[in-house]
């Protein structure tokens, strides 16, 4: 009886690990219920049936075939990506089993035989293997999936306390089963207890995923709210400029008539005064449309207003026909907004704050390049050899550069930071996604 329970549990948790790993990395083709549970149930039953023959090679080959078929049927993605992730899954899964087998042989010696071992011993070994595989594959799925939300390493470390504690319990059971065999009814109770402990590990990580998803959605909503505020501010500014231009066009005839009258009376100083006033009004119409992207215009316009209020010299160079539409709006706000915010706030601590922004595409239109340069007070905070911020509040403001890196990573780009003679320079290069 304990052999049946142990075999079924092994198949169930193999399937859970499979689903969690590929569910993080690839897109599901269908709704989870009822297709996925039905397919996984078929796998568990077939896997148990094949394992009952005791042929390990047949079991290995059948498992690989089942996994390949399920990946093809249940998940979307390119063949190349599926093969790459399947190889990762297979290497970890088989690697953990091989390493555990070598460790057991090293501990128990050459007299060890899996077939002659007790069911509690087998279950404890399989549980340790599945738990180890799950931890490795879960962390790998979060690291490989750059398009997802930011991987919170510190918080995950606390969640790993439970699986490591569970592993210690399984090791204790493994050691006990080697020393002394238990009656079958006691073995079943121990296996069920271990099963509940294993289930609790999966539940904890499912809850971690859920809270992680809620936090990511909250951040997206905050960025979306910022986007709406920026667009509202930008279009309000456009409307004000448009009204001012209409007023100027209405007054233009009066200006020209005045200039003509002054010229006929040789009053050159008055003419220069009128022309100077006209130039001031004309200049006020400039620097609203930086590019053909409304969100980018809104972000830069908002930062320009902040710079003017704080007497910061903000020089902006943006290619009007810039190809930046491949970036999601929230990522554009995060990358460009945080880049400019960091530069403006750092330059404020200097006597003559200056920020230079340059956004353009390369000659072949293959890359988006964002360069931002600012002067600062010379104080730099580093972590693990990387510059994280030039501000005193490293916990708060360091997130600015961190958020930039996370958003850029989603597009396979890179961020380069350089500091020289109290000049802070950040360069962001992103490959343009072409459909």
pLDDT tens for 389-408 read: 554 544 434 457 888 988 89
Q: What is the rounded average pLDDT for all residues in the chain?
A: 82
Indicate whether 85 pLDDT > 80.
yes
Q: What pLDDT score does 433 carry?
A: 66
Q: Contact at 8 Å (CB) between 398 and 337?
A: no
- To 10 degrees, what angle do helices 268-283 and 184-264 make? 160
pLDDT given for residue 261 in this prediction: 76
Query: pLDDT digits over 2-12, tens only?
Result: 556 667 777 88
Amino acid 336: pLDDT: 94
Instruction: Output the CA–CA distances (angstroms, integers) from residue 292 to 232, 241, 278, 289, 323, in the order listed.
Output: 17, 17, 27, 7, 9
Architecture of the domain defined by 290-435: 2-Layer Sandwich (3.30)
284-293 pLDDT, tens digit per residue, is 545 557 888 8
In DSSP terms, 315 is beta-bridged to 356
Contact call for residues 242 and 285 (beta carbons, < 8 A): no
Rounded distance, CA 66 to CA 41, Å? 12
Kindly report, as residue ranges, where domains of CATH 3.30.565.10 are found in the chain: 290-435
Quote the pLDDT of residue 72: 93
The residue among 295, 410, 401 whose CA lies nearest residue 341 is 401
- CA separation for the pair 378, 391 (Å, rounded): 10
State which of 32-46, 117-131, 183-197 shows the largest mean pLDDT. Answer: 32-46
Answer whether residue 147 shows pLDDT above 80: no
Choice among 304-313, 371-380, 393-402 with the minimum mean pLDDT = 393-402
Interval 211-239 mean pLDDT:
77
Per the omega criterion (within 30 degrees of 0), is the bond before 34 cis?
Answer: yes
Instruction: Give the tokens for residue 319.
Output: 């290619």
For residue 396, what pLDDT is reported?
39
């Amino acid at each position: 009886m304990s052999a049946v329970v142990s075999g079924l549990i092994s198949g169930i948790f193999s399937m859970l690990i499979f689903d969690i790993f590929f569910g993080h990395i690839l897109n599901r083709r269908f709704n989870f219920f009822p297709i996925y549970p039905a397919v996984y149930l078929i796998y568990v039953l077939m896997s148990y049936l094949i394992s009952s023959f005791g042929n390990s090679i047949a079991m290995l080959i059948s498992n690989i075939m089942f996994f390949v078929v399920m990946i093809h049927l249940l998940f979307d993605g390119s063949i190349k990506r599926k093969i790459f992730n399947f190889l990762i899954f297979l290497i970890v899964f088989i690697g953990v089993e091989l390493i555990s087998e070598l460790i057991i042989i090293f501990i128990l010696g050459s007299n060890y035989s899996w077939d002659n071992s007790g069911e509690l011993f087998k279950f404890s070994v399989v549980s340790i293997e599945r738990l180890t595989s799950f931890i490795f594959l879960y962390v790998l799925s979060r690291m490989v999936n750059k398009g997802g939300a930011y991987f919170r390493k510190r918080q995950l470390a606390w969640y790993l306390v439970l699986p490591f504690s569970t592993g210690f319990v399984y090791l204790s059971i493994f050691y006990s089963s080697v020393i002394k065999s238990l009656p079958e009814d006691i073995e079943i109770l121990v296996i069920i207890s271990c099963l509940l402990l294993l289930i609790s590990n999966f539940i904890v990580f499912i809850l971690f995923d859920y809270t992680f998803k809620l936090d990511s959605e909250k951040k997206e909503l905050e960025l979306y709210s910022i986007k709406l505020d920026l667009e509202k501010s930008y279009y309000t500014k456009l409307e004000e400029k448009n009204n001012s231009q209409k007023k100027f066009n209405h007054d233009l005839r009066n200006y020209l008539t005045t200039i003509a009258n002054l010229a006929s009376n040789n009053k050159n100083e008055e003419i220069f005064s009128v022309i100077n006033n006209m130039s001031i009004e004309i200049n006020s119409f400039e620097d609203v449309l930086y590019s053909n992207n409304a969100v980018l215009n809104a972000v830069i316009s908002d930062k320009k207003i902040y710079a003017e209020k704080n007497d910061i010299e903000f020089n902006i160079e943006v290619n009007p026909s810039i190809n930046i539409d491949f970036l999601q709006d929230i990522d554009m706000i995060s990358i460009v907004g945080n880049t400019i915010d960091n530069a403006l706030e750092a330059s404020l601590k200097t006597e003559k704050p200056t920020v230079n922004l340059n956004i353009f595409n390369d000659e072949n239109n293959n890359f988006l390049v964002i360069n931002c340069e600012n002067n600062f007070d010379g104080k730099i905070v580093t972590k693990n050899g990387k510059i994280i911020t030039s501000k005193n509040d490293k916990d708060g403001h360091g997130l600015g550069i961190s958020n930039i890196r996370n958003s850029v990573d989603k597009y396979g780009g890179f961020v380069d930071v350089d500091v020289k003679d109290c000049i802070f320079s950040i360069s962001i290069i992103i490959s343009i996604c072409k459909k």
